[in-house]
Amino acid sequence: MIVSTAMAQRRALFILALTVLLAGSRFIGDSFISKTWAAGAFAVGKCGAYGHAFDHPAEASARAAALKQCKGKCTAVTMKRACAALAVDMADPCGAHAYAVKPKISNSLNAATKKCYEVGGKECVIRAWACDAKG
């Protein structure tokens, strides 16, 4: 079968247009998801109380969801494309505790543990952690 030059050019143009369309829709889709569902929060309270929420459409809804899970008087911090960790002193769970929010989980775990020791913890361990979106 012999294909004319004009027909070959139309096929090539069609394939190029289809490729650009698919690539563009993937970029728009990823961008939309990461911007829309990229809010999280971590609530921290005394005696190891915590709550977390991730991939919410807005920081306010993430904060409310995290506070709802946390028992007692809790403080909420937001995380956007990041990770949060809570460290508690197991020698006295109602004593020293600390949290950290960092871009990577390993950094947040290390920072929370370090802060727990800095505020007087004797046997600090990670009680909870959460990451939001691409954290």
pTM score = 0.66
> Taking Cα atoms as reference points, which of 46, 108, 113 lies closest to residue 79?
108
Instruction: List the chain domain ranges.
Output: 1-36, 37-131
Query: In this structure, are strands 83-89 and 39-45 parallel, antiparallel, or unpaired?
Result: unpaired
For 77-115, the pLDDT digits (tens) are: 888 888 889 999 999 989 999 999 999 999 999 999 999
Beta-carbon contacts of residue 20 (< 8 Å; ≥ 6 apart): none
**Which helix or strand (DSSP H or E) is residue 122 part of?**
none
CA distances from 128 to 42, 68, 106 (A): 9, 16, 13
For 36-45, the pLDDT digits (tens) are: 556 889 898 8
> Taking Cα atoms as reference points, which of 107, 97, 102, 96 lies closest to residue 77?
102
Angle at 122 between CA 126 and CA 89, to 5 degrees: 35
> Taking Cα atoms as reference points, which of 97, 98, 107 lies closest to residue 131?
107
